Every structure is written in C-alpha cells, then in structure tokens.
Amino acid sequence: MADNPYYDRQLRDVLNILEHDYAGLVRTDAPVDSQYYIQAAGMAWKKGELDQLLFLRYVSQMLATTMDRSLRLSVVSEEYRPWHAGFDVRRVGDFLYVTASREDSRLRPGDRITELNGRSPGEHKARFQKNFLYSDVPEREMWGNVLKMAEHMTVEHTNGHIEQLPLLRLDGQRPPESTRIEQISHDAVRLIVGSLDFAGTLETIVAAERAKLDGATLLILDLRHATGDDPFALLPLVPYILSEEKTMNEAEGTQTYRTLYTPENCQRRLEQLAPFRDDPEAAGMIHEIEGHVGAGWVTETFTLWDDMPRPIVPRGNRVVVLTDTWTEGAPEAFVLLAKKEGRASIVGRATMGTLDFSSLIRVRVSDTAALTYPISISEDAARGNGYLGKGMTPSKVVPFTPDECLEDVILRAALS
C-alpha cells in the first residue's frame, strides 16, 4: 500500500471533527484524550515506522476509548485487505478463553490462551496506556484488535496439551451466521437469527415455519449472533413480542434526537444527499438541512413507521429473547422494543449499547482513509440516560464463565 506522508494532517482533521462536529460533544467537550496517541504517532514517525496501517491502529484505538462503536476510521485503498484472527475470545482473569473458532481449525471452544507474544492477556491489559477494549467489564471486552497485533500465542487446549501457535491472518469478512430454526423439544422452538444483510431470509423462514412458531408452547428468539442495521428486516418477529394489537408507531413511540448542525456537518450531509436530489423525500431533507446551516444543536422528533399504519396482531405463546454483549444495531433496537412491551422474557447479557447515536457521516481525511461519525444523539442519551458502554440489561442475567465455551448456558437458563 502506498504510504500517505500527511499523517499529522489526517490526525488533525480527525481531532477537529471530534472536537467540533461529533454528536458525543453533548456529553463531554473532550470526547478523547488524544495526547498519548499524538505522541505515539509522532514517535513512530521519527523512527520511520509510521505507515497507513499503524496510523489506522493508533486512531482506531483512540476512537475505541470513547466506547462509541459508530466512530471508526477505515482504510479505503484498493490495496488494503481487511483481515482477522478467525476465532473469538472472552477474558476471565489473566487468560482468554476461546468461545468460537469457525475459521481456525487449530482451536476449539474452551481452549485457553495463556500468552500473547510472551505475556498473559491480563498483563497486556494492565500495560495498556488507554483502555481501547470498549469496556471495563472483562466479559464485555473486545479483544479482536489485540489478537491482530499479536504474532504468536500460547494455547492450553481442553485436553491439557500446551503449544505455541502463530496467529493467522485471514483475509476478507468473517462468514455470516445463518438464520435457522430448531425444534428443541416437542413444545419448544428456537429461531436463531443470523445476518440480516440477506434480503428476505428471515421473512421467508418465518413465513414457511409460521405454524411451528405460532404453536410452540415456548418460542426462543436467539439474537446473540444477529447482525445488521436494517430495522425493517426484523418486522416478521414483532408479532411475537407485542403485548397487544398496535401499530409500530404506537409501539415505538415518537423518537427525539438532538442533531448538531455545524456548517461542516450540513455541507457533508448535503453532499451525501446530492445524488438523490430528484427524489421528493431527499429534496425535502435537503431543504430542511439548508435551513439549519450553522444552527448548532437542534432538537428533532420523528416517527419511523409512518408508512405502516395497519395494526400488528400479536402471535405465539410464551416467548424468550436471548441476548449477549454482541447484540447491537437493529437486533438491539428489537430487544429494546421487547423490553418496553414487557411480554417476552429477556435472558442472557446486557447488549452492546449502540442505540444512542444516529445520522452517520463518512468523510475522507486523506486519499486512503475515511472517518465515520454520528451527528445525532438520542434525547435520553443527551440527558445521561443512554446505553453507551452498558447496553440493556436482561430480565435474567447470566454472567459469562468458561463453562459456557462447552455448554450453551444461556439457552439452558432460558429453558429453565
């Protein structure tokens, strides 16, 4: 990848956005403590070690200290190939436990990683200058980027065998989780929701298995591995969490957000909408934004489901929703609705906490890097009652233990 020498300019542009245009400013006028990362990047530059990937690492870590998952820096060069380690972990004490390994056949759930590059994960955590794991709670920490920085690891397998292994660098996106239905017992059915990015998959399965879902004495909606940002994709499941017949707008209510209309945010938003200027809805949005240029914070209310005026009739019997830390985006919004309705039991762990921010803008900070950031924050979050860093707590909390690597403890709790 061709190096871009203007890393100081890139970093300055990123910090300028965070200090003037980022919706998180409603919570604090200093969203990031940038001094450490400025110094680290400067030292690497002096040593001749700073390239786009190391710069991406420093800035990504800095953004992660906010615990806001909507903030991210992306490399946009065609030469860059994203990669990952191929397995998932959770920390307990000094060690990481493998919870899933769909792509690295050398590992199995329950294997324990005792060292990364010669130090225990616990020691690495203690040495971090800043916490970029998105949480202070071990079971909620995200170690994926740390694994990408390691060259080798010491693994203690479940059979007691200990070995040194190099970490893999697997190109491309991780394989998506499939959506499927399982008959757990004669009266219990589990619907595992996977990626929502495949149009119609969930809708097709629900339509085909309607009798089974409606007739189950216990229906388990498993959202622990559900991914996607399209709230419309989960509409087929809404009848199973509604407490009574109502429209979606009646169920969700009016949404209230504060949007930061700086001149720069307005210009960037207008650039996003420019290709759709001939569309009446986009034209209306353009006109509204043009009227807000430089207005600063503006409180806005809206309803999301105006094009769905027909009431939805509840279906099914007893319903349990399964959640985990990784439940975010549209699945997390679905869990929030289920919690508001109060009909379904929610079992598992607090969700990721990604519902506070919206209206994402993507801006190029160089020819090879782009920053994504939100310009809107929910009124609840603006008042200090949001979900950032803590998520939504289930009605029945199941803390993580290494036993869960070998047994589905959350599912067992739901069945009990």
416 residues of the chain, pLDDT tens digit each: 344 568 888 999 999 999 999 999 999 999 998 999 999 999 998 998 888 888 999 999 999 999 999 999 998 888 888 889 999 999 999 999 999 999 999 999 999 999 999 999 999 999 999 999 999 999 999 999 999 999 999 999 999 999 999 999 998 778 888 999 999 999 999 999 999 987 678 999 999 999 999 999 999 999 999 999 999 999 999 999 999 999 999 999 999 999 999 999 999 999 999 999 899 888 999 999 999 999 999 999 999 999 999 999 999 999 999 999 999 999 999 999 999 999 999 999 999 999 999 999 999 998 889 999 999 999 999 999 999 999 999 999 999 999 999 999 999 999 98
Q: Tell me the pTM.
A: 0.93
Q: Is 247 helix (H, G, I), strand (E, B) or coil?
A: coil
Report pLDDT for 5: 61
Q: How many Å apart are CA 204 and CA 198, to the nearest integer?
A: 11
CA-nearest of 292, 297, 231, 248 to 267 is 292
> Of 317, 318, 324, 356, which is closest to residue 223 (Cα–Cα)?
324
Q: What single DSSP character describes residue 116? A: E
CA–CA distance, 289 with 376 (Å, rounded to integer): 13
| Residue (of 156, 99, 157) closest to 410 by Cα position | 99
Location of structure tokens 């679905």: 334
Buried b (16+ CB within 10 A) or exposed e, 195-206: bbeeeebbbebb
